[in-house]
Structure 1
Amino acid sequence: MSSSFFIKSKGNPKATKKGKDTSAVKRKADGDASGKNKIRAKKSSKYNEEISSDSEVESPALPKKRQAKEEIEFEETPQEKKLRLAKLYLDQLKEEEERKAEGESFETDHIAGRLQEEVLEQKGKLQRLIAKDLMPPDVSEIRVLRGHKLAITCLAVTPDDRCIFSAAKDCSIIKWDIESGKKLHTIHGGRKGTEDRHVGHTAHILCMSLSSDGKYLATGDMNKLIMIWEAETCKHLYKFTGHKGPVSGLSFRKGTHDLYSASHDRSVKVWNVDENAYVETLFGHQDAITGLDSLSRERCVTAGGRDGTVRVWKIAEESQLVFHGHEGSIDCVQLINEEHMITGADDGSVSLWSVNKKKPLSTVKQAHGCHGDAGMEQPHWVASVAALQNSDTVASGSHNSQVNVWKCGQNFRRLELLFSVPVSGFINSLKFSSSGQFLVAGVGQEHRLGRWWRLKEAKNGIYIIPLKRKPSNAEEDKHPE
């Protein structure tokens, strides 16, 4: 068996060969005075085929310096090879780490942005500027769902914006599929006196709230009762008793199953739905409470009706903040964020508040106009308000056949009317969807809290109002019309 070897010298190394070795690489030596071909064998994985030394085109002559360089490269020792491979491996690792670092940097920036939003949200200072892009919807785009026999008094939108729960003076509760407009479940109301054998309400339902995870639905009625339902199946779970007057406000604390309730008995109660337990009662209002709301903090806000106050209840501190501003009965309240809220009253005004100031930051009087004969004009009562959480957009409803959508000016210093949406009847309840894609109005022929008068031309129903956005500059370029 033949073998190949190298003879090293100071000049160009020359190899001798015994026998025939097909793995050797043959090249024509440069500057060979005798003209004879010297064959040089090179062991390299880079060359695994035989190249003829006679082929001048395929294997041009190499300069001596380059020859020497190649010779040294091919004479790589095992240790040198290990070192070279280790360097390659380290370079690859470095590249991978750099790519990973870039990705992590992007992700970190994204997370940092989200964390900053959450901090602002907790502080009550987050204000997403949405109002500037909103446009009034076409009347033809407003959808109406009908199913209740009497005036709708309250409603709730599921966190995923797929379903609506509505309740009415007919004591019934309906769960709707928003996309199809079909009824998913109906909990029928019972007659007065059938409380013991009827699963459900037997008196006008005045308020409802859905937990932020969509698990529980709570409803309150004129008969002083609070009912707890499994939101997915509408199965009845619990009945809370304890209020001595109609239950007029309900709100789950965001991120928990703690429930706050308000009543015409002037008290606020705290419940733990998971434990099916009563926690405590809070006193302070001097008249029937007409509305209640809460967010993530362990506190809630209430509208005190004719006592003319709005109160912020700090549950943990066992204290309350009292606010004055409206001239009439304050009938509705909603939190915009943890430190700002919107209220409406039967004096026709809508007010914007900060929990750090005892007086409203801004008030719009006669927000929905007036009615009656000249000289005897009365403002349209504001029956409902809604806020798109952590934004600059709020809405109000009355019985002047319009829902008003408002912009909160910078730092919540003023209210500016964006547009009005025609809706006939008493707007007893308003809710924005979580995404801000639509506004839902619960409409009735009568006011939710009484029967002062009736609008015969109105129809009891749920109005789904799309919130259209102005096209971006790119879209405007595409659609100049």
Structure 2
Amino acid sequence: MAATGSFFIRKKRVVEGRGRKRKAEDGEGEVHKKLTTKLNEEISSDSETESVGHNKKDAEELEIEETAQEKKLRLAKLYLEQLRREEEKAEEEQFESDLIGGRLQEEVLEQKGKLKRLLAKDYVSPDISEIRLLRGHQLPVTCLVVSPDDKYIFSASKDCSIIKWDVSCGKKLHTIHRGHKGTGDRHLGHIFSMAISSDGKYLATGDRNKLILIWNPATCQHLYTFKGHKDAVSGLSFRKGTHQLYSASHDRSVKVWNVDQNAYVETLFGHQDAITGLDSLSRERCVTAGGRDRTVRVWKIVEEAQLVFHGHESSIDCIQLINEEYMISGADDGSLALWTVNKKKPLVTVRTAHGIHGDPGIQQPNWITSVAALLNSDLVASGASSCSHDSKIKLWKCGEGFKSLELLFNIPVVGFVNSLKFSSSGDFLVAGMGQEHRLGRWWRLKEAKNGIYIIPLKKSETKQQPGDSK
């Protein structure tokens, strides 16, 4: 009897197995789903006592439904699929790690002042027909800035006005006109300097009447007025990542302001002549050009110290930081100098960088009136004034070790190049042009136009090679 009972149990299982096979013929997808479910149950319930018997039953049914060879093939496919997923996950994690690691490395190098992206070799001469001229100021443009997101340009002029421009379409979005005597919320004198904070929250402008006005760049509304300088405000710069503002003046002093608190902080002295240019980056320090005292100075605010650099033989009119370690300056004798903060003399000086003008025997070098640098890269630009119509903007590559300046190409323009700024992306260069020099009226070019040139910068199709960043 026991044997008979056993026989009927086995028979019943065989019948159930056949029934499932017929169902599989009607719907293979449903059976496959059931097999997958059972396999998952088999794997996930090893620790449960009650499910052991159930898993054994399922395993026996699976053995009836598929041969040993089919089972091996199925398990092998599952194993390979698991390996594939693990490999993809490992690749994604490695990619994210490399990306984060690269960013962190760049941030560390930038904080140390040693980030140098080798980009200059990729740039080629722009198409002259693509250069745009924006007209709006009645008198020479003296200074300008590009918003951190590269969407807007703010420019100022000897006509005491400030204009906000849309880069994409070139339209004027807002104009702050010359003020009226007694109001105090507009400029009444020539505007000589301008700066925008790295978060785009504040815009600062300085004028010949010794005033610094703070604006909201989004609405162009006046916020504060800073008083304290005793002569024209010739340079402004926000410390990167903060709302600390540095100002330089013809009164030979540098002042530090806290814009958030609408407060004056301190005054720094040292230059022996009118300061003509100023710049700063992330560190709590700034650099200045001392005009006819022919010195470049690095001001260490916390240490209450200054480093003095000599090298130009004439008045230094403009200066710009490339990164925390290197800077570029230009003088009225036509010389262009590349410096490091670790050495008191220029690493390289290019004499008569923009050529000469005048009749034979009384020729003079073209006066370098502005310089710019693409931040943390080896690309710099210079602009000059000329008595003729053949003024040029020149783009330069800082050579290996920043020990040379190699001319990349010229961009012909007409007039005084009073201000130059690269976009943050390096996709375009903006030049503020005028019929006169921004600080005076030594001579005038009637054929020049007072306006802004937006110069698109093109790159070659050659792909960036490994090692382009240091």
1:452 aligns with 2:442: yes
Q: What does residue range 115-154 of structure 1 map to in structure 2 within 5 Å?
A: 115-154=104-143
Could you say what the CA RMSD is over the residues aligned between the two structures, in angstroms? 2.8
How far the C-alpha of 1:7 sits from its partner, in A, is 5.9
CA contact (8 A) 1:340 1:354 kept: yes
Give secondary structure in 2 for the equivalent of 1:132. Answer: helix
Number of residue pairs matched?
417
Which amino acid is 1:79 matched to? V
Alignment partners' CA distance in 2, 1:349 and 1:332: 11
Q: Which residue of 2 aligns with 1:196?
A: 182
CA contact (8 A) 1:25 1:51 kept: no
Which amino acid is 2:51 matched to? P
CA contact (8 A) 1:382 1:397 kept: yes
Give secondary structure in 1 for the equivalent of 2:436. Answer: coil
TM-score normalised by length of structure 2:
0.83
How far the C-alpha of 1:284 sits from its partner, in A, is 0.7
Match of 1:283 among 265, 269, 273: 269
How far the C-alpha of 1:466 sits from its partner, in A, is 0.8
Match of 2:285 among 273, 280, 299: 299
Alignment partners' CA distance in 2, 1:17 and 1:334: 93
Alignment partners' CA distance in 2, 1:449 and 1:208: 14
How far the C-alpha of 1:266 sits from its partner, in A, is 0.6
Identity %: 68
CA contact (8 A) 2:235 2:249 kept: yes
Alignment partners' CA distance in 2, 1:473 and 1:333: 32
Query: Alpha carbons of 1:377 and 1:17: their partners in 2 closer, same or farther (altered >3 Å)?
Result: closer
Match of 2:233 among 240, 247, 259: 247
Match of 1:404 among 386, 391, 394: 394
Alignment partners' CA distance in 2, 1:50 and 1:329: 97
Match of 1:161 among 150, 154, 167: 150
CA contact (8 A) 1:153 1:205 kept: yes
Query: Alpha carbons of 1:81 and 1:279: their partners in 2 closer, same or farther (altered >3 Å)?
Result: farther
**Structure 2: 5+ residue runs without aligned partners?**
24-41, 59-74, 465-470
Q: Which residue of 1 aligns with 2:208?
A: 222
Alignment partners' CA distance in 1, 2:22 and 2:193: 91
Match of 2:250 among 247, 253, 264: 264
Give secondary structure in 2 for the equivalent of 1:49. Answer: helix
1:429 aligns with 2:419: yes
Alignment partners' CA distance in 2, 1:343 and 1:296: 19
Alignment partners' CA distance in 2, 1:50 and 1:340: 79
Which amino acid is 2:374 matched to? L
How far the C-alpha of 1:94 sits from its partner, in A, is 8.6
Query: Alpha carbons of 1:195 and 1:433: their partners in 2 closer, same or farther (altered >3 Å)?
Result: same
Which amino acid is 2:455 matched to? I
Question: Which protein is richer in helix relative to its size?
Answer: 2
Which amino acid is 1:168 matched to? S
Q: Which residue of 2 aligns with 1:366?
A: 352
How far the C-alpha of 1:106 sits from its partner, in A, is 1.3
CA contact (8 A) 1:161 1:433 kept: yes
Give secondary structure in 1 for the equivalent of 2:96. Answer: helix
CA contact (8 A) 1:405 1:418 kept: yes
Which amino acid is 1:15 matched to? F
1:49 aligns with 2:35: no
**Structure 1: 5+ residue runs without aligned partners?**
27-40, 53-72, 475-481
CA contact (8 A) 1:406 1:415 kept: yes
Alignment partners' CA distance in 2, 1:105 and 1:295: 33
Q: What does residue range 11-22 of structure 1 map to in structure 2 within 5 Å?
A: 15-16=7-8
Which amino acid is 2:127 matched to? D
Give secondary structure in 1 for the equivalent of 2:100. Answer: helix
Give secondary structure in 2 for the equivalent of 1:156. Answer: strand
How far the C-alpha of 1:103 sits from its partner, in A, is 2.0
Give secondary structure in 1 for the equivalent of 2:322. Answer: strand
Q: Which has the larger radius of gyration?
A: 1
How far the C-alpha of 1:104 sits from its partner, in A, is 2.1
Match of 1:79 among 52, 58, 69: 52
Alpha-carbon deviations, 1:383-418, whole Å to 9, x = none? 000000011100000024100110100121100111
Q: Which residue of 2 aligns with 1:69?
A: none
How far the C-alpha of 1:456 sits from its partner, in A, is 0.7
Alpha-carbon deviations, 1:213-264, whole Å to 9, x = none? 1111000000000000001010000000000110000000000000000000
Give secondary structure in 2 for the equivalent of 1:428. Answer: strand
Alignment partners' CA distance in 2, 1:419 and 1:84: 81
CA contact (8 A) 2:185 2:225 kept: no
Q: Which residue of 2 aligns with 1:333?
A: 319
Alignment partners' CA distance in 1, 2:418 and 2:139: 12
Query: Alpha carbons of 1:200 and 1:51: their partners in 2 closer, same or farther (altered >3 Å)?
Result: closer
Which amino acid is 2:355 matched to? G
How far the C-alpha of 1:48 sits from its partner, in A, is 5.5
Alignment partners' CA distance in 1, 2:3 and 2:281: 87
How far the C-alpha of 1:372 sits from its partner, in A, is 1.2
Give secondary structure in 1 for the equivalent of 2:7. Answer: coil
Alpha-carbon deviations, 1:149-196, whole Å to 9, x = none? 000000000111111000000000000001111100100013xxx442
Q: Which moved more, 1:169-178 or 1:400-409?
A: 400-409
Which amino acid is 1:349 matched to? S
Q: What does residue range 369-408 of structure 1 map to in structure 2 within 5 Å?
A: 369-400=355-386, 401-408=391-398
Query: Alpha carbons of 1:135 and 1:95: their partners in 2 closer, same or farther (altered >3 Å)?
Result: closer
1:472 aligns with 2:443: no
Alignment partners' CA distance in 2, 1:83 and 1:107: 44
Query: Alpha carbons of 1:348 and 1:98: their partners in 2 closer, same or farther (altered >3 Å)?
Result: same
Q: Which residue of 2 aligns with 1:70?
A: none
Query: Alpha carbons of 1:170 and 1:103: their partners in 2 closer, same or farther (altered >3 Å)?
Result: same
TM-score normalised by length of structure 1:
0.82
Alignment partners' CA distance in 1, 2:207 and 2:267: 18
CA contact (8 A) 1:176 1:185 kept: yes
